[in-house]
Amino acid sequence: MGKTKLLFITHEMSPFLELTKISEITRQLPQAMQDKGLEIRILMPRFGNINERRNRLHEVIRLSGMNIVIAENDNPLIIKVASIPAARMQVYFLDNEDYFQRKHVFNDAKGNFFADNDERTIFFCKGALETVKKLGWSPDVVHCHGWMTSLVPAYLKTIYKEDPAFKDAKIVYSVYEDSFSQTLGKDFAAKAVMKGMQHADTALYTDATLTAINNAAIAYSDAVVYGDENLNEEVLNYVKKSEKPLLDYNSSLDFENYYNFYQEITVDDLVSAV
C-alpha cells in the first residue's frame, strides 16, 4: 500500500490566520502526520486580512477558473498557494472577491455577524472539494476542522459519494468551543443544496445554529474528534448517541493519538471489506 493521504480543511491556520485554538492544531497536526509518512494537503479560505505579500501567496492558474453556483449565481473560484518552508508543506487558499476580500473575517467592524456567512460557508465547502478533484488527488481521510467546514461531510456522503476522488474516503469532524451565537439564516439549508442533491440531504442543517450545523456534520461523518475541553452539552450528547469512533480531547498536543486514530478508522474499513 502507498502512503495514507490526509486532507485537512479548515478556516484558519497559523501563521496565516490565528483566531482560535484551531489555528494551532491545524498548523502542528499536518506537520506531525507528514513526519509520520502520511501525504498531506491543506485547504483554507483566503480571507482579506491574510497578507498575500508577506505570506508569499501566488495564484495557481491550472486550478483557478471554476465557478461555484449558489442560489443560481456563479461565483468565481481562485486558488492560491503558499509554502511553509520549515515544514515543507503547501497550503491552498480558496479566494473570491465578493466573499473573502474584506478586512474582517466573520463579523464587521461593529461586531455584526456577516449576513452572507451562510453563502461563504457553502462556497468554501463546495470549492474545497472541487479543488481536490482538480488536483487529481484522492484522500483516504478528510479531516474537517470547525464549523465553516460543516457542509463537507454532507456533500461527501451525498453528491460526491460515488466520485472516484472521494468514494473511499473516511470523514473526520473536529468539534471546537462555541464561537458564535447567531445563525446562518433560515435559507442556509436550502441554499446548500447543490445540483444532483435533494432538499432532504441538508435537512439536518435547517435550524442553522452552531449546535445544529455541528450535529449535522457529525451525523454525516465517520468519526469525531473533540478539539476542546469545554464543548456544547447538546453536541456532546449527540456524539454519544451516535456511537461513532471518537478521539477525546488531549491538551498535550501529542499527535501520536491522531495518527493511531487515522489508522484505526481506515484499517477498520479494510477489515470489513474482506
Q: How far apart are the first and last CA of the chain?
A: 16
What's the CA gap between 156 and 175, in Å, rounded? 18
At residue 2, the pLDDT reads 64
Other Cβ atoms within 10 Å of 34 Cβ, number: 16
At residue 31, the pLDDT reads 95
What's the CA gap between 191 and 94, in Å, rounded? 19
Distances (CA, A) of 45 to 101, 174, 201, 205: 10, 18, 24, 21
Domain locations along the chain: 5-273
Kindly tell me the burial class for residue 239, based on how many C-beta atoms sit within 10 Å of its own C-beta (0-12, 13-18, 19 or more): buried
Structure confidence by residue, pLDDT tens digits, 106-143: 999 999 999 999 999 999 999 999 999 999 999 999 99
At residue 72, the pLDDT reads 82
Given a contact cutoff of 8 angstroms between Cβ atoms, the answer to whether 11 and 148 are in contact is: yes
- 111, HSE (Cβ side, Cα atoms, 13 Å): 2
- pLDDT tens per residue, the chain (274 residues)? 468 999 999 999 999 999 999 999 999 999 999 999 999 999 999 998 898 888 899 999 988 889 999 988 899 999 999 998 788 899 999 999 999 999 899 999 999 999 999 999 999 999 999 999 999 999 999 999 999 999 999 999 999 999 999 989 999 999 999 888 899 999 999 999 998 899 999 999 999 999 999 999 999 999 999 998 889 999 999 999 999 999 999 877 779 999 999 999 987 554 333 3
At residue 272, the pLDDT reads 38
Where are the alpha helices (H) located in 41-166, listed in sequence order? 97-100, 117-135, 152-157
CATH 1.10.10.10 fits 5-273, yes or no: no
Other Cβ atoms within 10 Å of 236 Cβ, number: 12
In 3D space, the residue among 104, 97, 158, 98 whose CA is nearest the CA of residue 126 turns out to be 158
Kindly tell me the burial class for residue 171, based on how many C-beta atoms sit within 10 Å of its own C-beta (0-12, 13-18, 19 or more): buried
pTM for the full predicted model: 0.94
At residue 268, the pLDDT reads 58
Residue type, 122: I
At residue 131, the pLDDT reads 96
At residue 274, the pLDDT reads 30
